Amino acid sequence: MSTDHPTAQPVSGERPGPKPRIPTEIWVLVAAAFIIALGYGLIAPIIPQFAQSFDVGMAAAGAVISIFAMSRLLFAPVSGRLIDRLGSRKVYLTGLLTVAVTTGLVAFAQEYWHILLLRGIGGVGSTMFTVSAMGLIVRMAPPTIRGKASSAYASAFLIGNIFGPVIGAVLSMLGMRIPFAIYGASVALAAFVVWWRMPKTDVSAETSGDTEPPLRFGQAIKDSAYRSALFGAFANGWSNFGVRVATLPLFAAAIFEHGGATAGLAMATFALGNAIALQFSGRLSDRVGRKPLIIIGLIVNAIFTGGMGFAASFWPLLIVSALAGAGAGMLNPAQQATLADVIGNNRSGGKILANFQMAQDFGAITGPIIVGAIAEAAGFRYGFLLCGVIGLIAAAIWAFGRETLEKEERHTPERVE
């Protein structure tokens, strides 16, 4: 069977019936995602400052962030193999508990290297639960609502990330150690929710009655949709998870009088644009196809991320940030649904998902380094312009990728809720 054709076959008789709903098991993952993101919002603003409280420099404080991302990148292939062998549910729970324990222990750190070690181990747990969560959505979401299911999961993380820092600001009076303990407890709560509500029958090749063996990377890479998704993931990681988080605050500090507040508002408007787009992008990708949403999302995100360096005043920066966020909101659910289409419901694809995550993490790690060097040598405008170029290249590559949603699986207008 050629891997350049859809791997998931349309369900016989599905079109005339009512549109399927998101399964309860996926709503469990959505609830857990909200709890995790809410807790992470408590610690995200204070991790570097807490590291610096151990009398280390800015580079060492930044290393606490980098080691988490690096361990995610390095362990992703192992997590993919574990998913194919043990099943997504077991790997998901193990990853959550790893993050819960290591983050909670940061609250009791007595030396700088304690934080570095615990964050490194926490990165391993992080990639375990993020990759396995994608695997669970792939296996449990009906093909005709994969975009909608991915959008619901992404929305939960987004909402949690919006409210988490607000709660963290309220709790700041308690010091920098307490939020780590609270986050560890919140992740443990998420693990309990999944253990309690997720079916005990695991989702793995050995236990789920798969009709096909796990999809291998050598097979998937022959599929133009999967190859395009890897480039899209790299561009998304570079601009939205890397440069936006690491370089935008530096740009705001250099250009605006109140740089910290301006950067925070720019990130908030990015999240707002993302949230608005997520309300329709998932359903639309289930109706018109994945590819149009991905290409439009990449182009919109590229144009407005590339334009951030030209925002010389407050309101233009907020506007381009919001529109860049809207582009990301159009891109992500459709690209996640593409992965699900490539793998299909009848086999595991842990390695495929892990390599996708690696491409995104690699972009998130290399983007801030390269853009930061360009900004220092030639100015922020050229650094942000490079982000735009990379996004447009990814869109051009996607123009040659195949559409994974068959016409038989698309919603007609009257079936859209």
Tokens for 235? Answer: 């561009």
Query: Can you give the pLDDT at residue 210?
Result: 52
Let me know if the fold of 20-202 is the same as that of 213-417: yes
Query: Can you give the pLDDT at residue 2?
Result: 38
CA distance 134 to 357: 10
Query: Can you give the pLDDT at residue 372?
Result: 87
CATH superfamily placement of domain 213-417: MFS general substrate transporter like domains (1.20.1250.20)
Spans of all domains in the chain: 20-202, 213-417
Q: What percent of the chain has pLDDT over 70?
A: 88
CA angle centred on 274, ends 124 and 305, rounded to 5° = 90
Structure confidence by residue, pLDDT tens digits, 204-232: 444 444 557 888 899 999 999 999 999 99
CA distance 17 to 131: 32
Q: How far is CA 317 from CA 84, 195, 249, 311, 348, in A?
A: 44, 43, 12, 5, 43
pLDDT confidence band for 191 (50 / 70 / 90): very high
Contact status, residue 225 vs residue 341, Cβ threshold 8 Å: yes
Query: Can you give the pLDDT at residue 5?
Result: 45
For residues 163 and 27, which has the higher predicted lDDT (pLDDT)?
27
pLDDT confidence band for 203 (50 / 70 / 90): very low
Report the mean per-residue pLDDT for the chain.
85
Structure confidence by residue, pLDDT tens digits, 7-46: 443 433 444 456 688 888 899 999 999 988 888 877 876 7
Sign, CA torsion 290/296/298/300: negative
Query: Can you give the pLDDT at residue 320?
Result: 96
Segment among 50-54, 168-172, 382-386 with least mean pLDDT: 168-172
Structure confidence by residue, pLDDT tens digits, 85-136: 888 889 999 999 999 999 999 999 999 999 999 999 999 999 999 989 888 8
Segment among 36-40, 296-300, 311-315, 330-334 with least mean pLDDT: 36-40
Fold designation for 20-202: Growth Hormone; Chain: A; (1.20.1250)
C-alpha closest to that of 176 among 52, 272, 61, 340: 52
Segment among 23-37, 293-307, 320-334 with least mean pLDDT: 23-37
CA distance 161 to 343: 29
Query: Can you give the pLDDT at residue 162?
Result: 77
Contact status, residue 69 vs residue 195, Cβ threshold 8 Å: no
Q: 52 Cβ partners below 8 Å, 6+ apart?
A: 58, 61
Query: Can you give the pLDDT at residue 52?
Result: 81
